Amino acid sequence: MKERLEAIKKAALEKIEKADAMESLNDIRVSVLGKKGELTQVLKGMKDVAKEERPIVGQMVNDTRAVIEDALEKEMTLLKKKIREEKMKREVIDVTLPGKTHEKGHRHPNQIALEDLERVFIGMGYEVVEGPEVEYDKYNFEMLNIPANHPAKDEQDTFYINKDIVLRTQTSPVQARIMETGKMPIRMIAPGRVFRSDEVDATHSPSFHQVEGLVVDKGITFADLKGTLEQFAKEFFGPDTKVKFRPHHFPFTEPSAEVDVTCFKCGGKGCRMCKGSGWIEILGCGMVHPHVLEMCGIDPEIYSGFAFGIGLERVALLKYEIDDMRLLYENDKRFLSQF
Amino acid sequence: MDTPISWIKAYVPDLECTPQEYADKMTLSGSNMESVTYLDKNLEKIVVGKIEKIEKHPDADKLIICQVNIGDETIQIVTGAPNVSEGDLVPVVLDGGRVAGGHDGGKNPENGIKIKKGKLRGVESFGMMCSIEELGSSRDMYPEAPEYGIYIFKKDVKPGDDAIEALGLHDAVVEFEITSNRVDCFSMIGMAREAAATFRKEFHPPVVTKTGNDEDVNNYIKVRVEDDELCPRYTARVVKNIKLAPSPEWMQRRLSAMGIRPINNLVDITNYVMEEYGQPMHAYDLDTIANKEIIVRRAKNGDKFTTLDGEERIMDENVLMICDGEKEIGIAGIMGGENSMVTDDIKTLLFEAACFDGTNIRLSSKRIGLRTDASGKFEKGLDPENAMAAMDRACQLIEELGAGEVVGGAVDVYPNPVKQIRLPLEVDKMNALLGTDVSKEQVLKYFKRIELDYDEATNEVIVPSFRQDLHRMADLAEEVARFYGYDNIPVTLPNGESTAGKKPFKMRVEDICRNVAEQNGFCGGMTYSFESPKVFDKLLLPADAKERQAIEISNPLGEDFSIMRTISLNGMLTSLATNLAHRNKNVRLYEFGNIYIPKALPLTELPDERMQMTLGMYGDCDFFNLKGVLEDMLDSLGLGGKSEYIPTSEHPFLHPGRQANVLLDGERVAYIGQVHPEVMDNYNMKGEVYVAVIDMPTLVPKATFDRKYEGVAKFPAMKRDLSMVMKKNIFVGQLEKIFKDKGGKLLESYELFDVYEGDQIEKGYKSVAYSLTFRAKDRTLEDAEVSKIVEDILVELKKLGIELRA
């Protein structure tokens, strides 16, 4: 009996080793281990075995079965792997063929710049607010310390609807509107369209965008203004950006400043973009003029604040190195799809 | 404001810096540098030479050979210049040197012209004698230079001297942008004061001494000011025995550096004082003045007046005039009259230095259409105190230059002298505003340099009259900041109550719409808010269309930009037409922009500004591509499946059979359609264009980001396909409404899977096939209940004449 089992095992293992297809392995399994297989036949012959030897023989049969099953399993795994590898060899593709996409649209560069800017200020706790584009003269000028006949009214080349209503020349009237509500503290930015009667050319447009910023609270200082805009510049233009504050004059802030940042193209060494100076002017700012606070019903003895205004197109044109402002309004797909 | 550094140094003698350092530091203390022009640009190796000997060139009639002493040696120079003689002292550029330009005075090359020794018709030449044009200047600035030929020094120079130095060209002119609040800086003295304070050097303004003879000016002229609001101060002095002559070289050089052409001593003195003090002056020929009196009054409407440029101009009652006893002789602060003009025969001169209301000058000059150097200064609002100072300075120069005999005394009509401004010195408050810790002593040091005095007894700062911009603590704080240095102010962040950064809901909705549009291939565009009223015709809007009620701009850039848009399509169609003209394929654009709907016209209150999202596309697409985008968008806003598309023909600019209003809860949020072929013609477009306009104020309140998990289906669905035959003019929307109404809660979804017209179907009819999916959340549906619902649906369909396809 033992010899017979050994013979079955040996024959089976030899066949298994020679097998080179899944079918032959399956055949082996059926012919040896199957219902009518050799090993099963052995088990069937157990009735001829002495009763006391039956457990021993049974164990021997089971051991033999285990060895064959194990060998079958291993060979199958090997064979599967081999077959898969051969299949994959046939499946090589040209990975340098173009990818499949569908045509996507693009954000307008101005909008991208705006969203970048909003993200920075929202992170600093600012609320984004809006104000009307067709605005009362009162908010656009008077409340900002620009009384009737002030030369600044000429400087800004205002479009008038009538003597009381204008197309806003700046986003600053939103300052007055927010301060008037009297809710403190204020930390806001107000992006939006503004209008000035400039003829269209490469650097001028009668309609463009500004982003106004305003902070009013107890104890706000010029140092806070510097810190805020420096942080903004570093986040918006890059961590190595340096900021320069130059004294300037705006009717609605005092003290006032213009802010330059190190040229983001040459890093401050001087290039064509910054006209060799290494600096690029990006915004105007200052401490909210006490008279402006008063006109909005805020006591300048208790509260102070700062405000700033950024020309969005200017930033977008510089950032994306766009050389003609008219491109922003022409909406040519070949331009828009570069952003 | 241009400032030649040499002129600034006349008042700040200790100023030691390069032009660039000067410009940079001045910028940081508040005078923003615009440009630096070096007068000695490209002038190298140029010395004074003395022509010792002149010989004829052996081989050229028009050339001469000069032996020129240049100090330590004598060199040979060949020239074609006709104007030199032996003994002349001339500028000579040596071998390897450089000049600014050619002798024709044309545009100078960027890097000048290099000069090398060479041979002219076989004779060696070791340099070049220069004309004033070759030195980068002109006869306008150096009137003594000859019209053609070499500049010949008239002054005391010797061979070997630096010729550029001798010509006063080692100088730079720095141009500053002066802000409107700093009227005092539109003068050389004002800028010098700033420079002295910035560089912490001593400031030496001109010392003006008493002038005039023993006579009394009141015997020569009387002055009456009828409108002292428009003329707060009028001063006058008289100069007799005028001797016209060129002004001295130092004065000519300073004026030239400013780009002002020297003319004669009288004109030069007025120009010089205007630049030095920032105070325009005017000179009248006293002999032309009737009754020897000056009257300052408003003109009468329609008065005609001929200014000294010979132009006749029409006045109105808001123009201030200078008149004599009989007639008008000048427009105050703008330009004098032809009738009182100073000529070369002048014997007695009336000097005027006055202060006029800045706003009035600005507006008058605009109305008359005449802007002069003088009006440009006056319109900034000058300091009345400065008028007499400038007048006395001018008379001092008259005496110094021997230009005439100044009559004693001055007429000064100044009824309401400027009140001295005193401000409390609040150092703590200034530090609190700036975030600094500057000591009182330091503050007072800064103030002293800009002539702000301090009254210790009252703790007040005394503001000089030329600083009309200082009114309160914040103004003084800026002065501290300027001289403390903006860059020295610390950098901190606001440390009050913290606030949450956020965007309004509206903008969140807009962002989602942008994202969906872009995912679907639409690029963000931007168009103007104002357009031409012709747009309404281009869009075929009828005469009574409400869109024609548009706000007009009273001073537009032109008709094309004259009304505020009431409909957003023109911008979109124009942009699409541009793309089409550029042969761009498959263009899809969207824009967010306001339209402006007046509540009443003419406008008395602000209009309703309605944000519109406009989508437009052409190319590989049809109506349903665009509709799909809208559905996608509404789905992203929590409004999926809630919209209704109502066919309409109400939009005249759209194809009457291919347009729909999009309703949510019965309210129109958008319209969509194919652009009308005639409108396509109007925009020079061919093919098909589809547009949709979403009214954001209607859409936004309906949008929701509130989502609730509804579980995934646990029970099987039951599907029924319906293949129907119906008349062609029945829209599937009608079917879907029936499905929704009759399907109730158990109808999970329906899907159109076939529309067919053709051979198999009777003419005028179409076949439409839908797959309906039914499902209950809590149980497996019975066949019977689904059949019942389908029966109900079929009954309703039958009412529209819709039959199941056999």
Strands B587-597 and B523-524, bridge-based pairing? parallel
Partners of B767 in the beta sheet? B725, B756
Peptide bond preceding B647: is omega within 30 degrees of 0, i.e. cis?
A: no
Maximum Cα–Cα distance across chain A: 127
Which chain A positions have a beta carbon within 8 Å of B529's beta carbon? 133, 167, 193, 195, 207
* pLDDT > 80? residue A46: no
**Prior bond of B82 cis (ω within 30°):** no
The per-residue pLDDT of chain A, averaged, comes to 91
pLDDT band at B761 (very low <50, low <70, confident <90, very high): confident
Q: Are B247 and B307 in contact (CB under 8 A)?
A: no
Cα diameter, chain B? 130
Q: What is the mean pLDDT of residues B243-266?
A: 92
Q: Are the C-beta atoms of A25 and A15 separated by less than 8 Å?
A: no
pLDDT surpassing 70 at residue A335: yes
Q: What is the mean pLDDT of chain B?
A: 94
B101, B109 contact by CB (below 8 A): yes
Residue A155 pLDDT > 70: no
Mean pLDDT for the stretch of residues B231-260: 94
For B584, the closest of A110, A126, A334 (CB atoms) is A334
Q: Give the amino acid at A246.
A: R
Contact check, Cβ <8 Å, A107/B524: yes
As to burial, measured by CB atoms within 10 angstroms (0-12 exposed, 13-18 middle, 19+ buried), residue B3 is buried
Closest CA to B592 of B611, B572, B571: B611
Q: What is the DSSP track for B650-667? A: --TTEEEEEEEEEEETTE
Q: pLDDT by residue (tens digit) across B419-472? A: 999 999 999 999 999 999 999 999 999 999 999 999 999 999 999 999 989 999
Q: Token pair for residue B122?
A: 């076989």
pLDDT tens across B367-388, in order? 999 999 999 999 999 999 999 9
Taking CB atoms and an 8 Å cutoff, what residues of chain A touch B435? 221-224, 226
Chain A residue numbers touching B564 (CB-CB < 8 A):
134, 167
Question: Given pLDDT bands bounded at 50, 70 and 90, which one contains residue B39?
Answer: very high
**Do the Cβ atoms of B518 and A105 come within 8 Å?**
yes
At A58, which amino acid appears?
Answer: G
Indicate which of B182, B478, B528 best probes the interface with A, i.e. most A CBs within 10 Å of its own CB: B478
Average pLDDT over residues A4-14: 87
Instruction: Identify which has the larger pLDDT, A116 or A52.
Output: A116
**Residue B270 contacts residue B14 (beta carbons within 8 Å):** no
Contact A151/B362, CB-based, under 8 Å?
yes
The answer to whether residue B584 scores a pLDDT higher than 90 is yes
CB burial class (10 A; 0-12, 13-18, 19+) of residue A249? buried
- Non-local (6+) Cβ contacts of B796 within 8 A are B738, B741, B742
Task: Concatenate the DSSP letters of all residues of B107-158 into one string.
Answer: PPPTT-EE---EEETTEEE-EEE--TTTTT--TTT-TTS-SSS-----SS--
pLDDT band at residue A156 under the 50/70/90 scheme: low
CB < 8 Å to B477, chain A: 254-255, 287
Specify the pLDDT at position B755.
Answer: 92
Question: Minimal Cα–Cα distance from A94 to chain B, Å?
Answer: 28
pLDDT, greater one: B450 or A64: B450
In the structure, what pLDDT confidence band is assigned to residue B806 with cuts at 50, 70 and 90? confident
Q: In what order do the strands lie in the sheet with B718-727?
A: B747-756, B765-774, B718-727, B803-804
Q: pLDDT per residue over B173-212, tens digit each?
A: 999 999 989 999 999 999 999 999 999 999 999 999 999 9
pLDDT of B795 over the 90 cut: yes
Asked whether residue B142 carries a pLDDT value surpassing 80, the answer given is: yes
Type of residue found at A305: G
Task: Give the residue with greater pLDDT, B581 vs A59.
Answer: B581
CA distance B698 to B681: 32
Q: What is the pTM of this model?
A: 0.86
* Secondary structure, 3-state, B684-697: CCCCCEEEEEEEHH
For range B246-265, the mean pLDDT: 91
Please state the rounded mean pLDDT for residues A164-169. 95
Is the pLDDT assigned to residue A35 strictly greater than 90? no
pLDDT band, very low/low/confident/very high, at A318 (cuts 50, 70, 90)? confident
More confident residue, B805 or B651: B651
B482–A245 C-beta distance less than 8 A: no
B500 contacts A125? CB cut-off 8 A: yes
Mean pLDDT of B724-742: 92
| pLDDT (average), residues B241-245 | 95
DSSP B343: -
Chain A partners within 8 Å of B552 (Cβ): 161
- In angstroms, the separation between the Cα of residue B587 and the nearest Cα of chain A is 7
Of A102, A132, A247, the CB nearest to B478: A247
Residue B305 to residues B328, B335, B639: CA-CA distances in angstroms?
Answer: 8, 11, 72
Read off the pLDDT of each residue in B549-570 and give the average, rounded to a whole number: 95
* pLDDT, average across residues A259-277: 87
Q: By the 8 A CB rule, do A268 and B492 touch?
A: no
Residues B587, B595: contact at Cβ < 8 Å?
no
B518 and A104 within 8 Å at the Cβ level: the answer is: yes
Distances B288 to B291, B336, B395, B404 between C-alpha atoms, Å: 10, 13, 21, 18
Q: Helix and strand tally (H, E) in chain A? A: 13, 9
- Whether residue A154 has pLDDT greater than 70: no
* CB pair distance less than 8 Å for A331 and B525: yes
The SS3 assignment for A226 reads: helix
A-chain residues near B507 (CB < 8 A): 128
Residue B174 C-alpha, separation from nearest chain A C-alpha, in angstroms: 15
Residues 6+ apart with CB under 8 A from B488: none
Q: Number of CB pairs < 8 Å for A and B?
A: 244
Enumerate the residues of chain A whose CB falls inside 8 A of the CB of residue B517: 105
Residue of B nearest to A248 (CA): B30
pLDDT digit string (tens) for B599-612?
999 999 999 999 99
Contact B663, B698 (CB under 8 A): no
Query: In terms of CA atoms, which chain B residue is nearest residue A162?
Result: B554
pLDDT tens per residue, range B349-367: 999 999 999 999 999 999 9
Mean pLDDT, rounded, for A153-172: 88
Give whole-number Cα distances, A17 to A5, A32, A37, A78, B364, in Å.
Answer: 18, 15, 19, 11, 112
What single string gives the DSSP state of each residue in B355-397? E--HHHHHHHHHHHT---HHHHHHTT---HHHHHHHHHHHHHH
Nearest to A331 among B434, B493, B527 (CB): B527
Which ipTM score applies to this complex? 0.87
Looking at residue B133, its amino acid is E
Query: Best interface-test mutation with B: which of A220, A336, A337, A339 has the largest number of B CBs within 10 A?
Result: A336
- In single-letter form, the type of residue at position B337 comes to G
- What residues does B468 pair with on adjacent strands? none
